[in-house]
Amino acid sequence: MRIVVINPGSTSTKLGVFQGTTPAALETLRHDSATLRAFASLMDQAPWRESLVRQWLMDQGVALEGVDAFMARGGLMAPVPSGVLAVDDAMLEDLRSCRFGAHASNLGAIIARRLAPEGVPVLTADPVVVDEMDPIARFSGHPDIVRRSIFHALNHKAVARRAAATLGKPVDALRLVVAHLGGGISVAAHRHGRVVDVNNALDGDGPFSPERSGGLPVAGVLAWCVQGLPMETIRRKVVGGGGLAAYLGTNNAQEAVSRMEAGDTQAAQVLGAMAYQVAKEIGAMAVVLEGQVDAIVLTGGLAACAPVVEGIRRQVAFLAPVMVFPGEDEMHALAEAAEAALTGKTPIMRYAAVRLDRPGASSPNNPRADGCQNPAPDA
């Protein structure tokens, strides 16, 4: 089966052609920030990115009529169950309107649908809005604000399956704490295959990361507001300009490690604090699982960063064995999901039929539900 995978990011578009789950061609198209800023809105980028994808497929000798399925990275839409979803008109409407938030991943399904000849399946799998949270986990502390499930669902689910295979048990028989360590950090409690609690990795919750602030003391955020800072400036401090970027002036963890190894005490303290906060969040998720944890799984780009991993391991190893799967192979995970759907191993759900009505999912207090303005290039 020939599967085309389209994965738009804030400053890149990752593309792949797979024969089943074997990659035949992979490419990351980098987009200059100045070029992106020239577009008035996120949706204005769609025709341009589509033309780049078409040209790349032509260069690879891929005829659209010879593709068995198009698989797109999922964007910000209504909460959905985990699994494979057919891209339907209802999904496209929600992605185009950005009513649940603006992110480049919204463009994936839109581009895939425009490329696909009639009758060729267009799919997405485990988008960031997968929602399996227990009702008790939705309480924030005030009824006006409901905790939302926004996390690296695709990699969480794929890595949980890898951990289960390593342990020789089905994933639905395990209790895992999975931490995705990337530009954003999400730490989740996986109970028998369901993510029953997770920090919102996009909008300011949980540990700080290379470019996100994580949870901040509310009084400090209110002080920013009282100072009269524009909402976009405050959002930038939280997403894109927080974490390592704010403390060290770089969102590159390897650069921070190099500075630490060269004797930079500030870099050492900040990296240690990030590992400390991740470890605290892992401890909280172990409590969610009532202390019955089969394994703690570390993944994402920072899982290749030895000082961060060892800092986390030192504080959490008493809870359960620590497993490390560096990187995030989203392209392969999407191809696997497409193949499973095409061969009938996984059902294909219709978004219009399974989208969930969750309190707060697109409420006025959600700062990301702001239309399709261009998000920050590195958000």
The model's pLDDT over 94-120, given as tens digits with 9 standing for 90+, comes to 999 999 988 899 999 999 999 999 999
> In the prediction, which pLDDT does 375 show?
58
Q: Are residues 321 and 346 in the same domain?
A: no
291 and 308 assigned to the same domain: yes
Mark whether 263 and 195 lie in a shared domain: yes
The verdict on residue 369 lying in a domain is no
| Average pLDDT of the segment spanning 148-177 | 96
| In-domain check, residue 144 | no
Same domain, 230 and 296: yes
Residue 365 clears pLDDT 50, i.e. is over it: no
- Mean pLDDT, all residues of the chain: 93
User: 195 and 302: one domain?
Assistant: yes
pLDDT at 9 (0 to 100): 87
| φ, ψ dihedrals at 56, nearest 5° | -65, -45
User: In this predicted model, what pLDDT tens digit does every residue of 37-62 receive, in sequence order?
Assistant: 899 999 999 999 999 999 999 999 99
Q: What is the mean pLDDT of residues 145-170?
A: 96
**Residue 315 within any structural domain of the chain:** yes
The CA distance from 36 to 55, in Å, is: 19
Residue 87 forms part of a structural domain: yes
Same domain flag for 318 and 337? no
pLDDT at 378 over 50: no
Q: What is the predicted pLDDT for the residue at 352?
A: 94
The answer to the question of residue 146 being in a domain is no
Domain contains 299: yes
State the total domains in the chain: 2
| Domain edge (last residue) among 279, 307, 326 | 326
* Domain match, 216 and 101 both: no
In this structure, the answer to whether residues 277 and 192 fall within a common structural domain is yes
Q: Is the pTM of this model over 0.85?
A: yes
Query: Does 364 map to a domain?
Result: no
Neighbours of 35 (CB within 10 A): 12
Q: What local confidence, expressed as pLDDT, does residue 288 receive?
A: 98
Q: Hunting for tokens 């895992």 — which residue is that?
A: 176
* CATH code where residue 107 lies: 3.30.420.40
Pair (194, 308) in one structural domain: yes
pLDDT tens digits for range 227-250: 999 998 999 999 889 999 999 999
Using pLDDT thresholds of 50, 70 and 90, give the confidence band for residue 379: very low
Q: Are residues 188 and 98 in the same domain?
A: no
Evaluate whether residue 185 is within a structural domain.
Answer: yes
Is the domain of 116 the same as that of 175? no
Tens of pLDDT along 198-233?
A: 999 888 899 999 999 999 999 999 999 999 999 989
121 with 176, same domain: the answer is: no
152 confidence band (pLDDT: 50, 70, 90) = very high
Q: Domain range for residue 14? A: 2-132+330-354
Model confidence at 364, in pLDDT bands (50, 70, 90)? very low
